[in-house]
Structure 1
């Protein structure tokens, strides 16, 4: 939502929003919350559960703002950005993710997202965030802005953009590790990530193997050292 000169302007009506997340229940919940809370401020015009659906849907609906999940089975938010932004430069992307890991924040901002908020955000704050990015502001959940400042800074002590050891883990393994390090039980992790307890156990075993650690306490320290918690 910019003028011909590139200066952002306040939206004159509801911000047209497109939802991208591979969990249908989550999309339904966000849609219901936005539609019941702020019909005069936000209008959900479409949704998608995969990268391919997102690219097609955004092209069809031409939304003002895309609420974009970071991790999806077929490529994730960065892939959506890569495929959409060249042909639809006026569409604004706001990442909405369970992950608050520095590497996820940095990757999606580098790809072109205007902001990044976590799924712990309240419905009221999400509406405000959507409105703000549509007006040209950059919006981040608390503490995430520091990751971006570090990544685009050459000052001493800035957070590294990549970590070879961390790069060995898949995005889902990082999600599981992050919650494990915060003290979540396997059942709670499964509920949070919409996966089975057996799948959680499989991911934990894989992380232990890749990191060559022996228990969750060592994993917690490893995760903390890499600012995943």
Structure 2
């Protein structure tokens, strides 16, 4: 069954180009395009959608505002933000709102396909440009208080292995295969790591690993 995709962007030429491009990707189906972010919730009420691809800067509802509204009514919907912004604070706000992935509009077809398939599988997707910005010295220094512990936290040897693999951008299934453990076990370790480090997601884990030279 094809992955059903809804695209919203206030520029019609972007909508048309994205729709055409995504339609060439195997197992992907564009079920709708909207140039008004205010119409997204009504569309989702009456149509089956697996992934919402949204711009960040739009009139009426920004991509972050839209994500917050969608998350309230459709918590399992995957949201991929496709934008030109590489600002670290904007990226953080987008992930805090609940997006599943963040890709730059300058990305090529191969990366867009990789991003769509990654979020469709339930994993988070961070483009190389996004990770470079989030892990820049300026971004790390500007991280909110509490997002990064000041001193190394005691973790088990297995948790340390998983932290390093997450920092290498391996998916949960890839980590399970690498360590010869189940996906469920990886998820349990991941939950414990998030709790111990006091971070909310993989970005926090990666920042912690970089800060404390674990990678």
* Aligned positions of 1:61-140 closer than 5 A: 61-140=47-126
**Residues in 1 aligned to 2:108 and 2:40: alpha-carbon distance in whole angstroms:** 24
* Aligned positions of 1:181-220 closer than 5 A: none
Aligned residue number for residue 206 of structure 2:
none
Aligned residue number for residue 30 of structure 2:
44
**Residues in 1 aligned to 2:89 and 2:44: alpha-carbon distance in whole angstroms:** 26
2:3 is equivalent to residue 15 of structure 1 = yes
Q: Are 2:104 and 2:129, in contact at CA under 8 Å, matched by a contact in 1?
A: no
Cα displacement (A) at 1:93: 0.4
Q: Deviations over 1:112-168 (max 9, x none)?
A: 001100001111221221111010111111141355574473256xxxxxxxxxxxx
Aligned residue number for residue 148 of structure 2:
154
| Aligned-partner SS, 2:16 | helix
| Aligned-partner SS, 1:86 | helix
Q: Are 1:94 and 1:114, in contact at CA under 8 Å, matched by a contact in 2?
A: yes
2:46 is equivalent to residue 60 of structure 1 = yes
Q: Deviations over 1:184-227 (max 9, x none)?
A: xxxxxxxxxxxxxxxxxxxxxxxxxxxxxxxxxxxxxxxxxxxx
Cα displacement (A) at 1:97: 0.3
Q: Are 2:9 and 2:37, in contact at CA under 8 Å, matched by a contact in 1?
A: no
Structure 2: gaps of 5 or more residues: 151-215
Structure 1: gaps of 5 or more residues: 1-12, 157-229
- State the TM-score, normalized to the length of structure 1: 0.57
| Aligned-partner SS, 1:17 | strand
**Residues in 2 aligned to 1:146 and 1:49: alpha-carbon distance in whole angstroms:** 30
Q: Are 1:62 and 1:91, in contact at CA under 8 Å, matched by a contact in 2?
A: no
**Residues in 1 aligned to 2:129 and 2:113: alpha-carbon distance in whole angstroms:** 20
Identify the match of residue 22 of structure 2 among 20, 29, 34: 34
- State the TM-score, normalized to the length of structure 2: 0.61
